[in-house]
A = this chain, B = another copy of it.
Amino acid sequence: MSHNSFGHLFRVTTWGESHGPAIGCVVDGVPPRIALSEADIQPFLDRRRPGQSRFTTQRREPDTIKILSGVFEGMTTGTPIALTIENVDQRSKDYANIADQFRPGHADIAYLWKYGIRDPRGGGRSSARETAMRVAAGAIARKILGDGVTIRGALVQMGPHPIDRARFDWAEVERNDFFCPDPVAAAHWADELDKVRRDGSSLGAVVEIEAVGAPPGLGAPVYAKLDADLAGAMMGINAVKGVEIGDGFAAASLRGEQNADEMRMNQDGTVRFLANHAGGVLGGISTGQPIVVRFAVKPTSSILTEVASVDAVGAEIMVQTKGRHDPCVGIRAVPVGEAMMACVLADHLLRHRAQCGDPAPSGRLPVTPNCSPERPAP
């Protein structure tokens, strides 16, 4: 058990504070002989990097990833892969004025009640900076999943403004500052967020992550449900307050026959689902359909607008949080959500292989047992 690790067989342990010398992680359990270099990881970090538009924090971090172990001559060796990123642009003084103040909506006070001590510089361990290592680990997870699995994410709502699903276009996601799949919404959001920024406020958002091509059979019926692990992974991202799979909360309003994903046969002997209300997971196990997860991100708590609070000695104060912050943390949560999806799937792929052998590539019928032969050993 560790409070700073996630995953079981694909296991990531992160460390580091926002304003310490570096942050890092150890990725254990990676299969040997997978081609891997920094170049496989850096592009994902670049997508998450702060300071790329006026809509994210102006902290300037190159976020250059280094591999310190576990790779030999460009191939993974099966031993733990240590990754690190140096912290470059730490302006601790920005935070000096809030070291003894508790910001409403922030972890400050809960943290102090827990540990009786905290590193106030930039949120310390509770900073979203930690998510850089999730993105790095996610890049390795994608290598394990292989090219057959595509994981992608988008911002589908900013503040109270959802996208128009009729205009959903994955290609659009890379063309704006919001990972927004709807160009009309993106333009609207830019105006809205500029205004919010000028007001010294912030906005919430909803992120959608999709994995296409994952094999059927990942997960398990009871306490290793794929959707339960995805829910825990997404809710564990900073500022996330809700998670749903497939139709999610909307499913509560459906009747049984509306919610059923009916099935028909393809010519090639595979099963065709006529809908995907389930979001690719039935009874905790993947079906081969796209796995679809959404999560809600609250508005950043660090805002210029004054709010009522208390300080460390129990005085009542008004707090205004200066410093460099994201007016909508949901934006940069998109690559983080993708990474968590990748990590959960990679972990379940290895867990499945341990018990059942390599998964079947597609959902064929009649079921030719895709598990290992009766006995796994020679």
Contact = CB atoms under 8 A, between A and B. Distances in A.
A224 B14 CA distance: 12
Interface string A127-162: 000100000000000011111110000000101100
Interface size class of A (residues with CB under 8 A): 35 or more
B29 A2 contact: yes
Contacts of A26: 4, 13, 15, 26
A107 B283 contact: yes
Contacts of A358: 357, 372, 376-377
B201 A307 contact: no
Contact of A307 (B72, B218, B257, B303): B257
Interface in A60-102: 68-70, 72, 75-82, 102
A341 to B, nearest CB: 14
B28 A13 contact: yes
Contacts of A202: 255-256
B1 A9 contact: yes
Interface stretch (A45-53, A166-174, A182-190, A235-243): A235-243
Nearest to A248: B242
A15 B22 CA distance: 16
Nearest to A21: B68
B232 A235 contact: yes
Given A22-B68, A201-B255, A251-B299, A105 B260 contact: yes
Interface in A317-370: 330, 349-363, 365-367, 369-370
A17 interface: yes
A41 interface: no
Q: Which 9 A-B pairs have the closest CB atoms?
A: A107-B283, A232-B232, A116-B369, A242-B244, A354-B354, A228-B236, A231-B235, A361-B378, A204-B252
25 contacts: A2-B29, A15-B82, A26-B26, A31-B376, A69-B125, A78-B117, A105-B260, A111-B285, A113-B288, A114-B356, A116-B370, A126-B284, A157-B252, A159-B252, A204-B253, A228-B236, A231-B243, A242-B243, A242-B251, A251-B297, A252-B296, A256-B303, A264-B308, A269-B314, A314-B366
